[in-house]
Structure 1
């Protein structure tokens, strides 16, 4: 497919997308002004919107964005499956779980930081000093099928343990946070804002991060119904570009990012700065065969763990036609 700038909207973009994807019969509808498009964006914890606003990247959007906020990826993917949102970002683990669960979505963009950003943490002063000490302990991987669940499975395997060697307590992020504070779980697999707040407020210790276990892939998914509309495809392409520029802003404006994220998470700047490398490492990667193979590996890992069953060809869920610069 011919590629072109995501910033070139209006008649030209609409016509090109329509002609290449849907034929001349739909060209007329594709050429409508993008100001009539409402893109429904699912946002985990509201972090994406907050960062894009801090970076000044929501000032010139040529379409309307309808935001909805969800506490975790599982909730976001429920919204996508119910067609209550058009697009949303989540790690590859819950994305694959959602697809296996029948969600009619496609992977349209990916951003990776190599596995940073998710960690297994223990309380300050915990007797757990190494991953081998996890045997017999109660661990919350947060929600089943989440990136933290994937991390916990990988950590146990790395320690020569199996899930039967520990007690897994699947909890929502909020409930897991409360359980961690109350001392009713010994370790917690978590990410993002929850990680920042717990390390900052409770001085929790990172036992191990996701590097070498998790891919660090942050998948932007879109519903099949949204991708059937060439005008929304153009809007999705623009939104993905803004997300990419948001990561660029973080890399080029460390102090501004730390100021923003400290305020957003209500944590001190020293805590946020310690987590900054996971944000600064994000880069956009191609949506190609390599990504499809990585997603397939996630699926096979879930099957091995008994989380998912059956067969699935993830290559069929990788949308390669999103316009890029």
Structure 2
């Protein structure tokens, strides 16, 4: 249950002070014995969660039973909503694909990417109804596609799929809709195809028998980015809690890989779909492995940004080195 505590949005002066504190903290050896370890019992970490999936996985893996700090969860339907909360300082951290993360930064969000995982590009698919006359991507000319929300990973998938097939964006109609509205439009037949992820995809395949026209592999990065507010990273206690939370996420994915039956049982209950439907998603959902927040990671953000520039979704250059925190410490997890 979310605690709706009101938090004051930091002023520009406070953000500058926070940035200075962050720079000072980053220059110190994180394992230095001279530094007093923060008392995590006094820390509340506000975690933004898409559809409740992160909390659900951590709980299924038994990783929330003895967390040394308090977690205040808030659920959001999609990455765009999560990033709005981060921009407004309504939550401290949250995970989303690199596509909406880049879009959020371009939209003025001062977040810092602090950790990342990749599953090799799986997780977002372009769907058509089971009886659709669309048999391949080339049949999408003249059709209406919902890429879900603008700047999302599903939008990125749609652009990439069309480009791969040599179909100009002008040859299709894009209908940007929230996941809930897109689901209703897909079910009623008012859109011909829908690019979507996660629980929404599982429910659509399970309930409607939707066909996967393209699974996004070779187009998407499959990158899950944990972003944080600068004020949270500048706070020693919250920074330590974020490091701990990131390692819990590592352990949750490892648990999912090692315990496929338990994972499938949890995800079937979570998504309200038969085990036979979610079993096919186990491999891609559990394949996420930690990657460094380094020059290669920054280059990935730049490539995603280049696609958005090419398609006219975003404008202007961005130095993504200014939006990453490379020194998140590895916390020990009991």
For the criterion TM > 0.5, the same-fold answer is yes
Which residue of 76, 96, 100 maps to 1:94? Answer: 100
What is the aligned partner in structure 1 of residue 8 from structure 2?
none
Quick check: 1:188 aligned with 2:194? yes
Secondary structure (helix, strand or coil) at the match of 1:116 reads coil
Which residue of 222, 246, 249 maps to 1:243? Answer: 249
Q: In structure 1, what is the Cα distance between the partners aligned to 2:192 and 2:57?
A: 32
What is the aligned partner in structure 2 of residue 286 from structure 1?
292
**Does the 8 Å CA contact 1:120/1:208 hold for their aligned counterparts?**
yes
Secondary structure (helix, strand or coil) at the match of 1:279 reads helix
Summarize deviations over 1:262-319 as a string: whole Å, max 9, x none. Answer: 0000000010001112113211111110000000010111011111001101122121
**Does the 8 Å CA contact 2:144/2:174 hold for their aligned counterparts?**
yes
**Does the 8 Å CA contact 1:91/1:219 hold for their aligned counterparts?**
yes
Secondary structure (helix, strand or coil) at the match of 1:188 reads strand
Q: Could you state the TM-score of these two structures normalised by the residue count of structure 1?
A: 0.91
Q: Label 1:30 to 1:174 Cα distance change in 2 as closer, same or farther (>3 A).
A: farther
Which residue of 118, 135, 140 maps to 2:141? Answer: 135
**Does the 8 Å CA contact 1:18/1:30 hold for their aligned counterparts?**
no
Q: Could you state the TM-score of these two structures normalised by the residue count of structure 2?
A: 0.89
- The number of residues matched between the two structures is 307
Gaps of 5+ in 1: 1-16
Quick check: 1:172 aligned with 2:178? yes
Q: In structure 1, what is the Cα distance between the partners aligned to 2:83 and 2:197?
A: 17
Q: Label 1:83 to 1:284 Cα distance change in 2 as closer, same or farther (>3 A).
A: same
Which residue of 106, 115, 138 maps to 2:121? Answer: 115
What is the aligned partner in structure 2 of residue 12 from structure 1?
none
Summarize deviations over 1:130-169 as a string: whole Å, max 9, x none. Answer: 0000000000000000000000000000110111010000
Secondary structure (helix, strand or coil) at the match of 2:281 reads helix
RMSD (Å) for aligned C-alpha atoms: 1.8
Pairwise CA distance, 1:33 = 1.5
- In the TM superposition, structure 1's runs of 4+ consecutive aligned residues that sit over 6 Å from their partners are none
Residues 20-59 of structure 1 mapped to structure 2, 5 A cutoff: 21=26, 31-59=37-65
